[in-house]
Amino acid sequence: MDNEVLRCIHARRSTRKFDERQISDEQLNVLLDAAIWAPSGGNNQSWLFTAIQDKEKLLRLNDLVRDGFQVWIPDDDYPGKLAMKTYSSREDFNFYRNAPTLIVATNKPNYENAMADCALALENIFLAATSIGLGSCYINQLHWLRNDSGVRAYLCGLGMPADHVICSSVVVGYGVGEPPVPARKEGTINIVR
């Protein structure tokens, strides 16, 4: 079987290098509309998608993330977390990969489907971005720093409700180069008939 949706699913790649061009308002609206049409547990739709496109604000957030990582104690030994802590002290640290647009997905507290709902919305954003020629990537660092007071206060200043949990974020823009295509692991499908 072959159709546009299936081709889009296979064509989507995590893009981590972007050029300077900002995406258009129309493109941003397409992505945010895709997000809010994701399913949500009990039709909660309690998420908020905050799109940040202002360069200065993104850089300020990057500084706060850098500060946050300096004092952050990873809650497990996932190698990516330790690498990020080290990377955060470098001069060229940029957690959002210098993308022109960052969309932060937050959700109400004490809601067990908060992460699942936001993850599904993010996948909609990834697929919509692919379908209109944009690159995108899941960015986990704001979730890791979800309890950091500096990061939280700054996002609240940008409209995040004070009690919201930072679930995830995505960067979007015009990708540079061809991202690698990571092979899919064998043995991850189990069909019982």
Q: Tokens 């692919």 identify what position?
A: 130
- By C-beta, is 13 or 43 nearer to ligand FMN? 13
Task: Name the token pair of 136.
Answer: 């995108």
Q: Quote the strand ranges of 20-164, DSSP E.
A: 48-52, 101-107, 135-139
CB of 43 to ligand FMN, least distance (A): 23
CB of 37 to ligand FMN, least distance (A): 20
Q: Read off the amino acid at residue 127.
A: L
CB of 102 to ligand FMN, least distance (A): 12
CB of 24 to ligand FMN, least distance (A): 24
- By C-beta, is 45 or 94 nearer to ligand FMN? 94
* Helix H or strand E segment including 165: strand 165-173
CB of 148 to ligand FMN, least distance (A): 16
Q: Is 175 helix (H, G, I), strand (E, B) or coil?
A: strand
As a whole number of angstroms, the distance between CA 102 and CA 49 comes to 10
Which residues would be at the binding site for ligand FMN (CB under 6 A)?
Answer: 13-14, 16, 137-141, 179, 182
Length of the chain, in residues: 193
Task: Name the token pair of 147.
Answer: 């309890």
Q: Is 49 helix (H, G, I), strand (E, B) or coil?
A: strand
As a whole number of angstroms, the distance between CA 76 and CA 18 comes to 30
